[in-house]
Structure 1
């Protein structure tokens, strides 16, 4: 995976054919040249894919850390945007390794998670 240019398969439901679409990653860790995400939750809502949780792995060093961002992929613009997750008091969200999920209810994003307390 390249940081600034990703290819996502697009499926045309009319022709039943797949096509590759170039998108901009807009990755939050710009110093990392290759990055992959594993074990995340994803939902679709209003022409967007929203991803949460999981582990961000830097391919070159194979170092990993829990993701502290929400990812939003816009189907129309083909652009990823990443937002840091903050606690209610404005402090940085520190995820634990298990128990993360997201859902949308009444136009609100609900995050279900446990938090690592140092």
Structure 2
């Protein structure tokens, strides 16, 4: 009887672990699906914005491609990705600025952040 209970406990633990893994996998699939939908929505919005800009400013698709390559190259390589920026230094005390704060921790100067900073 004791041996049966040990095996039963292991089976129960394995069953719980399997249910937990299934739940985690389902959440991951839902997250991926949500992100895919968000990417599609943002692509549609980007295309609509480009159409407005192109029509109202007499631009061509080539102008957009050139700008994309210019922005892509800001990190030193044209690879279709924007790498995180290197840390910036405070204009007053020259110490490294905190990433997500609008001021320097050391001297307190307010720092203007780039609106597209990652």
Q: TM-score, normalized by length of structure 1?
A: 0.21
Answer 1 or 2: which has greater strand percent.
Answer: 1
Report which of the two structures shows the higher radius of gyration computed on alpha carbons.
Answer: 2
Answer 1 or 2: which has greater helix percent.
Answer: 2
Instruction: Tell me: higher relative CO, structure 1 or 2? Use CA pairs within 8 A at least 6 residues apart.
Output: 1
